[in-house]
Homo-oligomer: A and B are copies of this chain.
Amino acid sequence: MKIVSAIKRVPEEIQNRLKDRFPETEFLFCHGIDEAEAHLPEAEVFVTYGEDLTPDRIEKAVQLKWIMVLSAGMDKMPFAEIDERGVVVTNVRGIHAKPMAEYALSMFLQVSRQAKTLIEQENQHQWNRRPTMNEISGNTMVFLGTGAIAQETARLAKAFHMKTIGFSKTGKDKPHFDETYTQDRLDEFLPYGDFVTAVLPSTVETKYILNIDHFKAMPDHAIFLNMGRGDLVSSEVLLEAVRHPHIHHAVLDVFEQEPLPEDHPFWDEERVTVTPHISGISPHYVPRGFEVFEENLELYLNGNGEMKNIIDLKRGY
């Protein structure tokens, strides 16, 4: 059986480890979809970032049984066509947790400790100790989402002696949260959110669920951070929230439109920090992704257990 990978620059070390561990399996490591395309008809397993999968290509892959997506967001995948063919899809849900948790903590520290001001002073050779240095310790962090990324962020927040309150559809208890509630009770708890972290995936149910009243409910000193999906809240609502201002600052890594247009007002807004969707980037990404794949391949070949992170193709996550 043949495994075709469209992942560019897979380290030799990983390629050799896989070949050694699964000697009966033929691996074809291609440099992107252009190179992989010709081999799709022979592939039983296809390893991809997911963005290169078109209905057309699914049709070509006549022997395909399993698609391993080395990504967590899968907005662009043709789920209907895949489902029709009975192909299983797994992803790497969870491997973004570490870098994204670090991103969140680094940005709350950056805003609380006025890094932009300090860097500007440094550029000006200016020794000025007056910018207020706020501590992040002891604050309350409210989370929209209680999944793997939120949990890892909450774990670090707890290390900084924070109180963590999570909101999800079910309101179920999750590790590292002091309290968890269903999303319909958000209004009640936003007034406690010194920091508000949004890590909801984009589904129909989470589109534009935050409105201006949510920002009005947050404390004046609140820092809002969105590293989930850009369509959680409209640009208009965010601009109103920071311009009034209803909150102290918004840290945005995801946007309704990406790349964020050069003339978008967010770039110059004093109470907004824009980062170019980098929260999940990590030098350890590919190795960690292939570790998940390796574990699943073992389960796939030996059939003695269900694979990890199987996607519900009807729900899309």
A: residues with CB less than 8 A from B are 98-99, 102-103, 105-106, 109-110, 113, 115-116, 118-119, 121-122, 125, 127-129, 131-137, 155-156, 159-160, 258-260, 262-264, 267-268, 273-278, 281-284
Contacts and interface: CB of A to CB of B under 8 A. Distances in A.
Contacts of A278: 113, 118, 129, 131, 133
Contacts of A129: 276-278, 281
A106 B102 contact: no
Nearest to A267: B125
A209 to B, nearest CB: 26
Given A102-B109, A128-B276, 17 more contacts: A102-B113, A102-B135, A102-B136, A103-B113, A106-B109, A118-B278, A119-B119, A121-B276, A122-B267, A122-B275, A125-B262, A125-B263, A127-B259, A132-B283, A134-B283, A155-B159, A156-B160
A274 B126 CA distance: 10
Interface of A is mostly: loop
B98 A282 contact: no
A122 B259 CA distance: 12
A121 B273 CA distance: 11
